[in-house]
Chains A and B, each alone.
Chain A
Amino acid sequence: MRTWWKNAWARRPKLSRGWKLVRNLVLGAVGGYLLWSFWGYPLPTAEMTFRRLERQHLLSPSELVFSTPEYGQGTDAASKRDRMVEALDGTKLYLEDCWFAGVTEESTVIASVERGLLLAGDGQLRGYARDGGPLLFPLSQSEWEIPRAYWVEVDYSVGAHYTYHNFVPFLLLDVPGETRRVELSLELRQETGTQILPYQADSWDLGGGVWLVGAWREDGQSPSPWLEGSYTLRLYDEKDTLLKQREGAIPRPL
Chain B
Amino acid sequence: MQRDQMNGFQWLYIATQGIRFKPDRAAVRAELAAHLEDKQTDLQRIFPDLSPEEAQRRAVESMGDAWEVRKQLAKIHRPWLGYLWRLSQVLAVLACLWLVSFGFFRGDDAYLGDHPCSELWDADDLPRTATMGDDDDLRYLPGDDPNQLLALEIGQTERVAGQDVSLRRAALWQGEDGLELYLYLRVNTWRFWERGVLREKWMKVTDDRGNCYVLGVESGEHPEDGSLMNGLGMWGFGPFHSGYEVYIRNLDPEAGWIYLDYGPTQPLFSFAVELKEGDQ
List residues of A whose CB falls within 8 A of some B CB: 17, 20-21, 23-25, 27-28, 30-32, 34-38, 41, 43, 52, 54-60, 106-107, 127, 129, 253-254
Contact = CB atoms under 8 A, between A and B. Distances in A.
Interface string B132-167: 000000000000000000000000000011110100
Interface string B79-110: 00000110011011011101100100000000
B71 interface: no
B95 A32 contact: yes
B165 A58 contact: yes
B95 A31 contact: yes
A152 B275 CA distance: 62
Interface of B: 84-85, 88-89, 91-92, 94-96, 98-99, 102, 111, 160-163, 165, 187, 192-199, 201-202, 239, 262-266, 268-269
Contacts of A43: 193
A142 B174 CA distance: 39
Contact of B85 (A17, A31, A253): A17
Residue among A41, A56, A59 having the largest count of chain B Cβ atoms under 10 Å: A56
Nearest to A23: B92
A174 to B, nearest CB: 16
B199 A27 contact: no
Given A25-B91, A55-B161, 4 more contacts: A41-B193, A54-B161, A55-B162, A58-B161
Nearest to B262: A58
Given A58-B268, A254-B201, A31 B91 contact: yes
A39 B149 CA distance: 45
B94 A31 contact: yes
A253 B200 CA distance: 12
Contacts of B269: 58
Contact of A34 (B88, B111, B199): B111
A106 B98 contact: no
A32 B239 CA distance: 15
A155 to B, nearest CB: 46
Nearest to B112: A37
B201 A57 contact: no
Contacts of A41: 192-194
A56 B196 contact: yes
A24 B201 CA distance: 46
A58 B163 contact: yes
A57 B161 CA distance: 9
Contacts of A254: 201-202, 264-265
Nearest to A252: B201
A107 B85 contact: no
Contacts of A253: 201
Nearest to A130: B265
